[in-house]
């Protein structure tokens, strides 16, 4: 299954249909190269998941500032 996903991801990037070409470059000049963008995209996803897990564990409170700032940093890098 992982092989199929990797082939699909490779083909999506090869045909310039990935989020780097479709989203990132559409919103300004590039600051990250293709591979660096996808690495930052993964970091952004992980940071957003951490904030979501915090909300599930603490439904009535606000997440700590360090979690929010970390997620915002990666969101800004990938223009999310």
> Does residue 1 register a pLDDT over 80?
no
Give yes or no for a contact between 47 and 64, defined as CB atoms under 8 angstroms apart.
no
pTM reported for the whole predicted model: 0.82
pLDDT for res 48? 95
Per the structure, how many domains does the chain have?
1
Other beta carbons within 10 angstroms of residue 50's beta carbon come to 14
Q: Write out the residue range of the structural domain in which residue 53 sits.
A: 2-78
Residue-wise pLDDT tens digits, 39-72: 999 999 999 999 999 999 998 888 999 999 999 9
């Amino acid at each position: 299954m992982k092989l199929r996903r990797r082939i699909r991801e490779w083909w999506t990037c090869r045909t310039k249909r990935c989020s780097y070409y479709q989203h990132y470059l559409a919103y300004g000049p590039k600051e990250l190269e293709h591979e660096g963008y996808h690495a930052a995209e993964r970091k952004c996803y992980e940071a957003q998941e951490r904030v979501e897990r915090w909300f599930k564990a603490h439904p009535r409170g606000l997440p700590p500032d360090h979690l929010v700032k970390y997620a915002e940093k990666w969101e800004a890098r990938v223009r999310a």
